[in-house]
Amino acid sequence: MKYYIIAGEASGDLHGSNLIKELKKLDAEAAIRCWGGDKMQEAGGELVKHYRELAFMGFTEVVMNLRTIFRNLTFCKEDILQFKPTVLILIDYPGFNLRIAKWAKQQGLKVIYYISPQVWAWKENRVQQMKQCIDKMLVILPFEKEYFKNKWNWEVEYVGHPLVQVVGSYESGVRSYESGVRSEEFSDRPVVALLPGSRKQEIAKKLPVMLAVSKYFPDHQFVVAQAPSIEDEFYHSFTSPYPNVSAVKNKTYALLFKAKAALVTSGTATLETALFAVPEVVCYKGSFLSYQIGKRLVNVKFISLVNLILDKLAVKELIQNDLTVNNLHLELQELLTNKQRRQQLQQDYSKLKQILSAGGNASANAAASINNFIRSKV
């Protein structure tokens, strides 16, 4: 069978790669064409476009790149029609993927969405359109199944969270996703991980604040997790003034495995950090216009998935004007020195892992669901 998969971000590339591996176990003859990244390509997908060409965040950035976005949409539609897939699989990335889903349904294509857009947070009005153009929705957050059923009378399938298996495999010694960090990449000093995101726009906003904190902790080594799609020179322009800062690429999990604490941009990375049981501060800073618009549209108590899933403020969130060097310094000091705070975090992280583990192996479950869906329609 023929699968066309679209992921537009680093996290989608990771989850897409594991989905591809599981699909190939069930369908040895699978032909997979994809938008994603290096991981999806390594897993056996034929890469059409890399997510680094698609990475625009925030209202302002999207408006400035509208021509590129529409050009990508046109190209994508033409490529799908030429490939003639058995099924179209869309992974998160709603701004692009929901447009493709609506178009694909009009073409008579079967559409499966893996990792739902976070409509419970904002733009709930999209749900009616999603119901009309998505044949099967696979969700990865435990509260989403009830949300869609109770509020929108839509039966979706909860498959578990894919990060549980990814992190678990790494911790148990299966280095399937990243090689270990060489000893020379670390000194003997305690490590603080810096995860500033995967897009240049967000990195430029947050990384300077994160780096400035390093001067208050000369006995610690601060290590930046570089996005694989961004050149080293971009990071070096920020990190070069700081003597106790280094960087690694394609080794985020090895870094988290070593870290005593982490400063993390909002998003999937907050969950990854928590699953590695690393005390963290969540950092968010966007352009003024993007933040003002988002603040009025977003309908959630917290910005981090850790806090949303636990339904409590387990990890500190420093948002927009609160993300200052002084505030970040104080919060990091607390994480490194307050034993009681660290113990409470470990309890919260344990609860989080228990909640997310309840669904089982998400990648295998999703692949099985997709396979069963296709066979029922053939």
Domains in the chain: ranges and CATH: 2-160+360-377 (3.40.50.2000), 168-357 (3.40.50.2000)
pLDDT digit string, tens, across residues 81-103: 999 999 999 999 988 999 999 99
- The maximal CA–CA distance of the chain, rounded, in angstroms, is 63
Average confidence (pLDDT) over 206-230: 94
pLDDT band at 65 (very low <50, low <70, confident <90, very high): low
pLDDT band at 120 (very low <50, low <70, confident <90, very high): confident
pLDDT at position 185: 63
pLDDT digit string, tens, across residues 133-188: 999 999 999 889 999 999 999 999 999 999 998 888 887 764 444 455 555 566 78
> Residue 108 pLDDT > 90, yes or no?
yes
pLDDT band at 59 (very low <50, low <70, confident <90, very high): very low
Average confidence (pLDDT) over 337-353: 96
Percent residues over pLDDT 90 in the chain: 68
What are the distances in angstroms from CA 358 to CA 144, 156, 164, 351? Answer: 14, 17, 10, 11
pLDDT band at 116 (very low <50, low <70, confident <90, very high): very high
Cα–Cα distance for residue pair 312/168, rounded to 1 Å: 24
Q: Is the alpha carbon torsion for 268, 269, 273, 279 positive or negative?
A: negative
Strand order in the sheet with 2-7: 46-50, 31-36, 2-7, 87-91, 111-114, 136-139, 157-158
Q: How many CB atoms lie within 10 A of CB 12?
A: 28
pLDDT digit string, tens, across residues 265-323: 978 899 999 999 999 999 988 655 554 545 544 556 788 899 999 999 999 999 888 99
Q: Taking the mean position of all CA atoms in its chain, how far away is CA 51? A: 12
pLDDT at position 260: 96
Average confidence (pLDDT) over 73-86: 96
For the ranges 47-56, 82-91, 272-281, 348-357, which has the lowest average pLDDT? 47-56
pLDDT at position 287: 55
DSSP class of 37: -
State the average pLDDT for the chain.
Answer: 88
Cα–Cα distance for residue pair 201/297, rounded to 1 Å: 21
Residues 6 or more apart from 47 whose CB is under 8 A from it? 34, 35, 36, 37, 40, 41
H or E segment and range at residue 216: none
Q: Is the alpha carbon torsion for 72, 78, 84, 86 positive or negative?
A: positive
Cα–Cα distance for residue pair 168/35, rounded to 1 Å: 26
Residues 6 or more apart from 356 whose CB is under 8 A from it? 142, 160, 161, 163, 164, 271, 275, 309
- Please give the model's pTM, rounded to 2 decimal places: 0.82
pLDDT at position 198: 82
Q: How far apart are the first and last CA of the chain?
A: 10
